[in-house]
Amino acid sequence: MNGFREPRAVDPALPATRGPLSAGLVEALRTGDLSALARPGSDTDLDPYGEDLQLSLYVLYELHYQGFVGVHEDWEWDPDLLALRRELERRFLAVLRAQTPGGTDVAATLSDLSVEPTGQDPSSVSHFLQTEGTFEQLREYAALRSLYHLKEADPHAWVLPRLYGRAKAAMVAVEYDEFGAGRSEDVHARLFADLMRDLGLETAYGHYLDAAPAPVLATVNLMSLLGLHRSLRGALVGHFAAVEITSPPGSRRLARAMRRLGAGSAAQRFYDEHVEADAVHEQVVRRDVVGGLLEHEPHLAPDVVFGVAATDLLEGRLARHVLDAWRADRSALRERL
């Protein structure tokens, strides 16, 4: 597309801080002086879902993606930063495991994802936007989701070296589609940048980080957490299955919202593409990615169930945050667009 600017061509700036933990981390990355790092106190001192922890975890994960302007690439594997990340991950994982049901019935778990409510779902952001959301709320939603969609499918690609056989072949096939099937103009991250441009939003990678509240950071952090740990490969597959199975109906509603509110053709195309592609992906993921994984590693069934449940938990928390704000005539962002 003429005039397209690659969102990841320029490194984002370090974000504004949200507490002592993120303040110490950002200062350490800015100056290169790791003595500035703050250490988390007892488990009761730091909210695992809070702004300070989630921003700190997000910044640490971003060292494995795009990095930040002025931050040397070698910091990605610094032992002190990895130790801090590990402690924050421990707290985040602990609360996720405590608040999700266990289980081993993967088939039933995936089937539950396919159940759509009859009529309007008051807990669903896509239902709200389809019928009553405003254009400004649509723009806010795109800004929130940009933290993931401008790197769409990247966190899931980390699982590829950890799979083999049928699961690996199927996962590669789905990821190939996510990355444009060999066409840069069809890479899903680029399609989302086109959507943002149609909505009058800034398309630079990480531009809306300062505006993004902790509930949206947590949804992105979950993907990075599961992707970066081989021991969590089953949970990453569960997360991926949850995304692909729930995407078509939600994308259909968001495409209708785009049309109802007069968004441009590029904005509509992103969700139209996901309705079609993810309907196919859903079957491949169920049968071959999940099925292939459990055929060879049946002991990972509880992890797959956990990945689905953790995804549902965090998406539910984000939806409540967004809808509570909009119904109270407030912005869902930390700062208005």
Domain ranges of the chain: 20-98, 122-327
Span 64-69, mean pLDDT?
96
Task: Report the half-sphere exposure of 96 (CA within 13 A, side-chain side).
Answer: 26
The CATH number of 122-327, from 1.20.910.10, 1.10.287.4070, 3.30.1490.190, 3.80.10.10, is 1.20.910.10
Asked if residue 14 lies in contact with residue 71, where contact means CB atoms within 8 angstroms, the answer is: yes
Asked if residue 174 lies in contact with residue 244, where contact means CB atoms within 8 angstroms, the answer is: yes
3-state DSSP assignment of residue 300: helix
Asked if residue 213 lies in contact with residue 333, where contact means CB atoms within 8 angstroms, the answer is: yes
Summary count for the chain: helices (H), strands (E): 14, 0
Considering the entire predicted model, what is its pTM?
0.95
Asked if residue 308 lies in contact with residue 110, where contact means CB atoms within 8 angstroms, the answer is: yes
Span 281-292, mean pLDDT?
93
pLDDT digits (tens, 9 = 90+) for 91-131: 999 999 999 998 999 999 999 998 877 778 899 999 999 99
Cβ within 8 Å of residue 317, ≥6 positions away: 49, 215, 218
